[in-house]
Amino acid sequence: MILPGATVGVLGGGQLGRMFAVTAQRMGYRVVVLDPDPDSPAGRIADVHLAADYADRQALDELARQCAAVTVEFENVPASSLEFLARVRPVRPGVAAVAIAQDRVREKRFLAECGLAVVPFSVVLDSDGLSEALVHLGGSAVLKRARLGYDGKGQARVRSLAEALAAFESFGSEPCVLEKLTVFQKEISVVLARGADGATAVYPVIENRHRGGILDTSLIPARTPSAVAQAAVDAANRIAGVLDYVGVLAVEFFVSNGELLVNEIAPRPHNSGHVTLDACITSQFEQQVRALCGLPLGDPALLCPAAMTNLLGDLWIPHAPRWDAILNEPRAKLHLYGKRAARSGRKMGHFTCLGDTLDDARARALRVRRVVTRKPMALWRQRLAGEAAHK
Ligand SMILES: Nc1ncnc2c1ncn2[C@@H]1O[C@H](COP(=O)(O)OP(=O)(O)O)[C@@H](O)[C@H]1O
Ligand SMILES: [Mg+2]
């Protein structure tokens, strides 16, 4: 067991790294963050920030020298860096799980091997393959880069070969998967933690609504029949077991005509799991610290129903959101990630509304959301003028 007072490391200095760092520090750990951005959200609050590339051998050496164990904030760190660290320190989750999650082709094959249903897909390596795959999938599909996609980036909906070829080219003609455009009634996620001893702690299933490929709102517990929720939990447990996983794992699903399809996995705390910060006895970040340090896992039980809404950079344009809308709601908890530059689609923060019932939490979140996203007339005029100018 790595006890409080020790130093732990995280690769990646975004909001997930920051919430990990805040939690670890609350529990008495020192935190070292490796992130090339000198102004990263986690780097700024870490005890030590190594501002270097994820493949920088000297920085990795230093990370290993200072830290008793290392985790990741996101899956897109070079697997070779994790292998390098794993030779001298516990790296949790392990390299194998991260390597699968960072490559959609490997991920799909792995999920199929686990006996789980996924959206029909084809691997695309070149334009001929793309054309065959599009015919095979029926003409309407989603092209996704195999690597380095997130928040809907690196993917495009395509309805014709011309659109598909243009998207493929815009992704640098890198390997992709082409997925059938799926009609689903609901998206849900399972977030769980698994310790080195194989013990697991699973959160209640979370219901997610995306807009433009980016998570907008998460509800806990999901409004879904218990059989569907149980099947999702079973699937997530199976994935964690097969990977002999240690850490926090998230699994995203589509619920399509009562059938459960696995969309993707994340080898880390998940945006939908941010509800656990305020709504559960133990948050997903505390579980990440506990699993990393070999401590017993905390109780994932729900304290009360909750609704979480992301705050994207768009809300900062042209000026900061109406904070009063969030602060006036006595059951809203505001979380901001300390990012200086607001860009469209960039996750700047989130707020969570707690409720006596899920409907109560939802109603509070919707009320707040309506005011927060209200744009001043001047901005709409500007936008309309911009659109008119493009025509
Ligand atoms: N095959 C699909 N059919 C319909 N919608 C999809 C499909 N794939 C992705 N989406 C939508 O786009 C969102 C983001 O896609 P996802 O594959 O999860 O990538 P990311 O890594 O960006 O989260 C999904 O949560 C879902 O709302
Ligand atoms: Mg996703």
Q: Can you tell me which atom of ligand 1 is nearest the CA of 151?
A: 22
The three-state secondary structure class of 45 is helix
DSSP string, 276-301: HHHHBSS-HHHHHHHHHHTPPPPP--
Type of residue numbered 58: Q
Question: Looking at residues 84-88, what average pLDDT do you find?
Answer: 97
Neighbours of 212 (CB within 10 A): 11
| Residue 23 in this model has a pLDDT that exceeds 80 | yes
| Residue 103 in this model has a pLDDT that exceeds 50 | yes
Ligand 1 close to Cβ of residue 264 (< 6 A): yes
Q: What percent of the chain has pLDDT over 70?
A: 96
What pLDDT, on the 0 to 100 scale, is given for residue 119? 94
Question: Looking at residues 85-108, what average pLDDT do you find?
Answer: 96
Type of residue numbered 278: D
Phi, psi angles (nearest 5°) of residue 357: -130, 170
How close is the Cα of 187 to the center of ligand 1, in Å? 9
What pLDDT, on the 0 to 100 scale, is given for residue 378? 54
- 299, 130, 118, 126: which is closest to 199 by C-alpha? 299
Beta strands in the chain (DSSP E): 7-11, 30-34, 48-50, 69-72, 121-124, 141-145, 155-158, 176-180, 186-194, 200-202, 206-211, 214-220, 247-256, 259-266, 306-312, 332-336, 347-354
What pLDDT, on the 0 to 100 scale, is given for residue 377? 57
Neighbours of 211 (CB within 10 A): 11
For β-strands 206-211 and 155-158, DSSP reports them as unpaired
Phi, psi angles (nearest 5°) of residue 377: -55, -35
For β-strands 186-194 and 141-145, DSSP reports them as unpaired
Would you say 146 and 176 are in contact if contact means Cβ atoms under 8 Å apart? yes
Superfamily of domain 120-180: ATP-grasp fold, A domain (3.30.1490.20)
How close is the Cα of 55 to the center of ligand 2, in Å? 25
Q: Which helix (H) or strand (E) holds 377?
A: helix 377-390
Sign of CA dihedral 349, 354, 360, 364: negative
Structure tokens at 291: 């699993």
122-178 pLDDT, tens digit each? 999 999 999 999 999 988 999 999 998 787 788 999 999 999 999 999 999 999 999
Residue of the nearest CA to atom 10 in ligand 1?
213
Which of the two residues, 148 and 192, has the higher pLDDT score? 192
What pLDDT, on the 0 to 100 scale, is given for residue 374? 75
Would you say 333 and 352 are in contact if contact means Cβ atoms under 8 Å apart? yes
Same fold, 120-180 and 186-372: no
Would you say 183 and 174 are in contact if contact means Cβ atoms under 8 Å apart? no
Question: Looking at residues 349-358, what average pLDDT do you find?
Answer: 98
The number of residues making up the chain comes to 391
Ligand 1 close to Cβ of residue 75 (< 6 A): no
| From 50-54, 224-228, 374-378, the region with the lowest mean pLDDT | 374-378
Q: Where are the domains of the chain?
A: 7-91, 120-180, 186-372
Mean pLDDT of the chain: 94
Question: Looking at residues 8-17, what average pLDDT do you find?
Answer: 98
How close is the Cα of 213 to the center of ligand 1, in Å? 6
How close is the Cα of 198 to the center of ligand 2, in Å? 26
224-262 pLDDT, tens digit each? 999 999 999 999 999 999 999 999 999 999 999 989 999
Q: What is the pTM of this model?
A: 0.94
Give ∠ CA 98-102-104 in degrees, rounded to 5.
130
Fold of 7-91: Rossmann fold (3.40.50)
Instruction: Kindly give the interhelix angle for 284-293 and 15-26, rounded to the nearest 10 degrees.
Output: 70
Question: Looking at residues 76-101, what average pLDDT do you find?
Answer: 96
CA distances to 101, 113, 139, 340 from 105, in Å? 9, 12, 21, 35
Ligand 1 close to Cβ of residue 152 (< 6 A): yes
What pLDDT, on the 0 to 100 scale, is given for residue 379? 56
Q: Which residues pair with 351 in a beta bridge?
A: 309, 334
**What is the C-alpha to C-alpha distance for residues 234 and 361, in angstroms, rounded to an integer?**
27
What pLDDT, on the 0 to 100 scale, is given for residue 391? 45
The model's confidence at residue 390, banded by pLDDT at 50, 70 and 90, is low
Ligand 1 close to Cβ of residue 360 (< 6 A): no
The model's confidence at residue 204, banded by pLDDT at 50, 70 and 90, is very high
| From 56-60, 97-101, 382-386, the region with the lowest mean pLDDT | 382-386
Would you say 150 and 270 are in contact if contact means Cβ atoms under 8 Å apart? no
Quick one: CATH architecture of 186-372? 2-Layer Sandwich (3.30)
Q: What percent of the chain has pLDDT over 90?
A: 90
Question: Looking at residues 352-371, what average pLDDT do you find?
Answer: 97
Question: Looking at residues 343-372, what average pLDDT do you find?
Answer: 96
284-326 pLDDT, tens digit each? 999 999 999 999 999 999 999 999 999 999 999 888 898 999 9
Question: Looking at residues 55-62, what average pLDDT do you find?
Answer: 98
Question: Does the bond joining 300 to the residue before it have cis omega, within 30 degrees of 0?
Answer: no
How close is the Cα of 1 to the center of ligand 1, in Å? 38
